Structures are given as C-alpha cells and as structure tokens.
Amino acid sequence: MLRILLSGVLSLLVVLSAHASPIRIKDLVEFDGVRGNDLVGYGLVVGLNGTGDGLRNAPFTEEIMSNVLERLGVNVSGEQFRPKNVAAVFVTATLPPFARTGSQIDVTISAIGDANSLLGGTLIMTPMNAPDGQIYAVAQGTVIAGGAAAKGDGAAVVQGVPTAGVIPSGARIEREIEFDFTKLKSIRLALRNPDFTTAERIEVAINKNFGRVVSRMLDSGTVILDISATKSLSPAHALGRVENISVEPEIKARVIVDQRSGTIVMGEDVRISRVAVSQGNLTLRIEEEPLVVQPNPFSEGGTVVVPRTRAAIEEEPGIGLAEIRDGTSLSEVISGLNALGVSPRDMIDILKSIKAAGALHAEFVVR
C-alpha cells in the first residue's frame, strides 16, 4: 500500500460533497426588493498623533477643514494651516433594507491623502449620500484602525493597513428609502448560483409546503412567488414562511485553483476520462567562480581576474508515464499524485494539462 505524502502547507485540497445537505431557501436566493443601498461621504478625521495629511501634498484637506470651521462660526479666511493631526477620508456604508430613521449602521473609513495612520482619530460629522444625491445618514465617531505603523530615521515598520478603519454603529440613519413592500403582488426569488435543478427543487418545495401551486420557475436563476395564492396576511408573512423551507441544492462539477497560494478546491462529481500523464522537471544551473591571479612580488605584470564558470543541466526523474483509468474521480487522482510526491505547483500544472486534453469533465476556474 502506497504511503500518501502530504503536499505541504501551500496546498489545500477541499472536496465538496456531491450530495449537499438541505439548506434554507434564505441562504440560496435573494428576494426581489429586499436589498441594501450603498452610501458614500467625504469627511475629516481629527486627533491624529502627527500622522495626518501633509497639507501641501493634500490641499483638499485644508479646504474641507476651512469649510468645517466656517460652519462652526470660526473665520479662517486668509489663514495658513499646517497641522499634522487631520486627514481627509472617504466614508462608505451600506444602508440595509427596511432601515428606519434613528437606527445605526457600521461605516468604513479610508484615507485619500498621504496620511500615515488613522489610529486614534475621530471622524467628525460627515453626511453620507446615495446615488440619487440625497443624504440618508450622518457618520461620526472614533476610528478603529486596522493596523499600526512606526518609523525612525533609518527604518520603518507597518503592520496591517493603518490608513483604513471602521466605526461600529458609526452612522445614524436620517432618511428612509420609500418602498411599500405590502403592495407587492408577487416576489421573484433570484438564485445566487443559477441552476435549473436547484430552481425546480425550490419551486416543488414551496408548493409542497403551502399545499398548492404558489410558485413557478421562470429560468435557472429565478422563481416567482404569487403572494395572493399563498393567502398570507402580507408579503412579509409569506416570505417569513418561505425562507425557512429547506432545499437540497445541486452542486456543479467544478475545480477551482488559486495559483498564488497553491490551493485546489474541487467537487466530488468531477470525473476524468482515460488519459496518460507524465511529468518531470529540467533545471539549468550556472555558477560563476572567478579566480584572481596576482604577479610575484617585485615582478612585472598586474593582477588578472580569470573567469571560471560551471554549467550543469539536471533533470529530475519525474513521475514517469502514469495511466488514469476512465471514470476516475479527481480525489483519486490527487491521492495518486500525492503518493508519487508531486509538488503542489506541479499538481496544478498537471490538472491544467488534463483539462486542455479534454479529459477533465468539470468547469476549471483558475484564479
């Protein structure tokens, strides 16, 4: 029995089960009309410990600081600012569906100037706009930066991203999005991973739960729900019942390869036709060892550098020519390659070659 060798920390092999466990519909679809909206604002972070924007390199910081002070009644016309404890930032957030006035949401802060760190800073009142130009929230609070930075005269160290951070519950909603959910006559269920089989199973499961035909599959990515046919008190009551129905989704045969980390993720339904595989490595090595030759003392002549070069070609034996029988699963192929000691990078190249030969029957995604 062959001893299976582990591929190493750079290779992570994940096998997805062909028969997934039942999953709630709420985890498989998005409900039409139930969605968030993006917000963005331009603000100022103050209170930094000398790590803010250099105003000569970021004049927009000086402009927004002047505007803020003037709104507070401080006349700064003609004054020159040179503080190092302020930074101009973009503030982003997502307004959740059915958010009400007065509730709070998280915001993300990102420096746009040459600030070194936002650690310890405070975001002052920043209006946040939606794509329609209206203000829907106002953000303010202490920034929790995602890293740290320190530097001296001869060295500097940075950990994480100190120029970005978050403010939990940092924005308060001031305007609601006008949307009358109660007047909907039907709601579309959009599958996150479109699949005809999964869409049909969702349709059957919903109709079975209500005991009559209340849903219909439109295509691989859409199932429509007739609210009036459900005889529910409101669309919210209907969705509250539908979203907790469990369905077993169909998983597509797929192989995902991340070449940067050597990660391989595959489905159990992946199959390989009969094919032969051979792999080996060729290494060309050139070494320079110059030799310095000096003349004898008190003799004529000069120092000469004589070049000395060593060149060699090394070819590893590889795995030879191995035959993979028809109908073999990808997990069996990976186990066999591991047993032969194939490195993670070589394993990815072999899978790409098998796919190019038309023997790998799955969607092959390279990232």
* Confidence at residue 210, expressed as pLDDT on a 0 to 100 scale: 92
Q: Using CA atoms, how far apart are residues 277 and 347, in angstroms rounded to an integer?
A: 11
Residues of the chain with CATH 3.30.70: 180-247
* Confidence at residue 56, expressed as pLDDT on a 0 to 100 scale: 66
* Confidence at residue 135, expressed as pLDDT on a 0 to 100 scale: 93
* Confidence at residue 104, expressed as pLDDT on a 0 to 100 scale: 94
Predicted model pTM: 0.65
pLDDT in tens, the chain (367 residues): 333 333 333 333 444 444 557 899 999 999 887 888 999 999 889 888 888 777 666 677 777 777 777 777 777 665 666 677 888 899 999 999 888 999 999 999 999 888 888 888 999 999 999 988 899 999 999 999 876 666 666 666 766 778 889 999 999 999 988 888 888 889 999 999 899 999 999 999 999 999 999 999 999 999 999 998 999 888 889 999 999 999 999 888 888 887 777 777 777 777 777 777 666 654 556 566 777 777 777 677 777 777 776 666 555 555 554 555 665 666 676 676 666 666 667 777 777 877 887 877 888 887 7
From the list 201, 166, 89, 94, the residue with the least C-alpha distance to 137 is 94
* Confidence at residue 279, expressed as pLDDT on a 0 to 100 scale: 62
Q: Using CA atoms, how far apart are residues 130 and 126, in angstroms rounded to an integer?
A: 13
What dihedral angle (degrees, nearest 10) is formed by the CA atoms of 205, 208, 210, 216? 60
The sign of the dihedral angle between the CA atoms of 62, 67, 69, 70 is positive
Return the amino acid letter for 251.
Answer: I
Looking at domain 180-247, which of 2.30.30, 2.30.42, 1.10.3470, 3.30.70 is its CATH number? 3.30.70
* Confidence at residue 2, expressed as pLDDT on a 0 to 100 scale: 30
**Gyration radius (Cα) of the chain, Å:** 32
The sign of the dihedral angle between the CA atoms of 211, 213, 215, 220 is positive
